[in-house]
Amino acid sequence: MRNRQYWGVILLAVGVLAGCDLLRAGVKSSYTVERAKVEQVLQTESNGHRFVAYVVTWSTAHIVVSDPLAKSHHREGDEISFMAQRIELPGQVKTLSFTLSEP
């Protein structure tokens, strides 16, 4: 059930983005699903709000994989699955982001 809720949020976000003018203006987006071992856990709480992210090595670089719903509880050494998303905006702006793809 949790997995469905998580992907439901992602699909909702993609659906909203698909309908916006940016895609018609030449924005390109793609992603791959990757796996890596957690090297460090980053987390904090403030007034009941939680933040969770993980440091992993991907393509020889240390990167931060964010858990946008802050529901995961992985530890160092756990293997996680995440999306590596590439977005290209008109005018040579290219971004890369990493999002946890499991609860």
Residue 98 predicted with pLDDT over 60: yes
Q: Look up residue 97 and give its amino acid.
A: S
- Topology (CATH level 3) of domain 2-100: OB fold (Dihydrolipoamide Acetyltransferase, E2P) (2.40.50)
Q: Residue 92 has what pLDDT? A: 82
Q: Residue 14 has what pLDDT? A: 53
Backbone angles phi, psi at 82, to 5 degrees: -150, 160
pLDDT by residue (tens digit) across 34-87? 999 999 999 999 999 999 999 999 999 999 999 999 999 999 999 999 999 999
Q: Which residue has the tokens 């977005």?
A: 87
The domain limits of the chain are 2-100
For residues 78 and 20, the model is more confident at: 78
Q: Residue 102 has what pLDDT? A: 79
Q: Which residue has the tokens 């939680």?
A: 50
